[in-house]
Structure 1
Amino acid sequence: MAGGFLGDWAARRSPRFGLVAVLQAAQFAFAVAAFLGTQIAFASIVPFALFFGLMGAAQGVNPGINRPMVMAITPPELRGAAFAIYISIFEAIGWAAFSLGAGFLGDVFGLKQVFLWILVLLMLANGAYLTLLYRPYARDVDRLQHELDTRRATALND
């Protein structure tokens, strides 16, 4: 839910770059909360609950951002197929690989090390990598909008 509100706000503030910026910020926020929640030994469970809640909130932002991003660059007639592939293949394989990999690596290296490398460092790398998305995302949104405008004009002239 928060992702949808943040996405709407970001798209209004910066139609070309807002969604990418929120997605990137969510990755960095997740990494910070993951570091604090998995790498520091607290005397109480309360900080763990807080940081794991923040991790969940940061992760929960993603669907409200990445789904509109997919729709913004995919023609309407291909959106069903795009979501079917994205959700049932890429997300499912990603979560399965993460879960299995973290479990196996946790047995070998310990969960604290695995959490540092996967939940913190990999998310920081992912957030940095998303910087490369700004230019092509804006270009792809413009291309699709031009195509939809052309279709609309053609339909109105027929």
Structure 2
Amino acid sequence: MSEIPPSPRQLFQQLDSGRITREQFREAMAFHAKEAIEEMEEDHLNPAAALLEHMLSRRAASKLLKRHEEPLIREVLLALADMSDFPPGRWLWNAGHPHIPLHAFFRSKRVPIFRIVTLEAAPQHVVVVVEYGAPGYTSPKKEEIHLRRNRRNQLCEESRRFL
């Protein structure tokens, strides 16, 4: 597989709607599983860097939790994961699972990085500024994303712009 497949969340939606076969689903999920295993091997080979990344990610999550409730942060992460052309979405796909620690979704030093710079929330509208790296980019991108609640009360992309 030469290109990166959609996030696991998007793959589940495609499988459920019949747009892909079970075999295509398994092949794409194997890519994501291999990627996760490679990161675990890197952590095993370099425990000091893994510990530093862990501490920085916990700090990033803690800073967000001082201003916002955890369910809102997870909802924002899921809305970002649903955006089709958002590279970090493949690491955010299971943000709705409360048994996965919130800090697991932030990547402070590990390439590609993912940080929430600011998060401003109103009842029906959320503005989030994210910084992320993607394969092939030398410096991180900074993007402002506006999310709005739809009729099902779910956050969905309204607009976005690069900063």
The answer, yes or no, to whether TM exceeds 0.5 is no
Flag the structure with higher strand content: 2
Larger RCO of the pair (alpha carbons < 8 Å, separation 6+): 1
